Structure 1
């Protein structure tokens, strides 16, 4: 077979594979969101009025936080594998460290704005419960993931 005929077929198959991976990730994220909504609703005991105002703000915050963590921070961390760190110059390491600090600060400022936006909607006790519920949810999700992942021997 001619390479000119094979190449477009390979590119098409590869693009389907990347699309499928993106769809699976999106589907998993939606499943996690649904579990989070159920968990927080139970934990926070939101009134109908609170819930109506809370969820749009929370969803915007969660989406932006996800974007920061999975685009910026994940990109920085991928550059920090052991081989790369051993060969990285001090100048490059300083630049990378600065980028990580900036991304961390961006997440911090986002959370600070989120809490400020919640104060007129939720009492302080429920905002604290939300923080605790987020930690509990993440811990529970991590335990479920660990329990489902087969152990390597």
Structure 2
């Protein structure tokens, strides 16, 4: 619990506006480190579990990002033809199917080295971290 509080304080402290690209990259790395600490704490991963979990999780995130980027499109529905809109919808279904398959594959891999209960808690922990991060960003913007 103490690690969680420290991580949340650090999230707030690191979210001030950073103008340069190098500083933005540094901020992204700090946020990733805070996410690791937060999820590790929430899942109560042992050092042995962490050693196995994080490389697999990072690979999972990279593959998920690759799938999402493959289907990423700037959509302005007001100027698109109906067949383009339909294709966009079917592409979205295909992307979601690929992500579901990816989640199933990684669930099978992860359950070999961490408890199923911890895997179930993972998504909730990711959502909680993201909510807290957004909250801190909004608070930092209002303080300016």
State if a TM-score over 0.5 links the two structures: yes
Q: Name the TM-score, length of structure 1 as normaliser.
A: 0.70
Give the RMSD, CA atoms, in angstroms.
Answer: 2.1
Distance in 1 separating the partners of 2:135 and 2:99: 24
> Structure 1 segments of 4 or more deviating over 4 A?
none
> Aligned ranges for residues 84-123 of structure 1 at < 5 Å?
84-123=76-115
Counterparts in 2 of 1:62 and 1:133: CA distance versus 1, 3 Å: same
Structure 1 residue 138: Cα displacement: 1.2
The residue matched to 1:58 in structure 2 has which SS? Answer: helix
1:114 and 1:95 map into 2 onto residues whose CA distance is 29
Query: Could you tell me which residue of structure 1 aligns to residue 59 of structure 2?
Result: 60
Q: What TM-score comes out, normalization by structure 2 length?
A: 0.74
- SS of equivalent residue, structure 1 residue 142: helix
Task: Please give the alpha-carbon distance, in whole angstroms, between the structure 1 residues aligned to 2:102 and 2:28.
Answer: 20
In proportion to residue count, which structure has more helix? 1
Deviations 1:53-104 (A, max 9, x none): 11110111122223333x235x32x2x2xxx312211111111112222222
Unaligned stretches of 5+ in structure 1? 1-19
The structure with the largest alpha-carbon Rg is 1
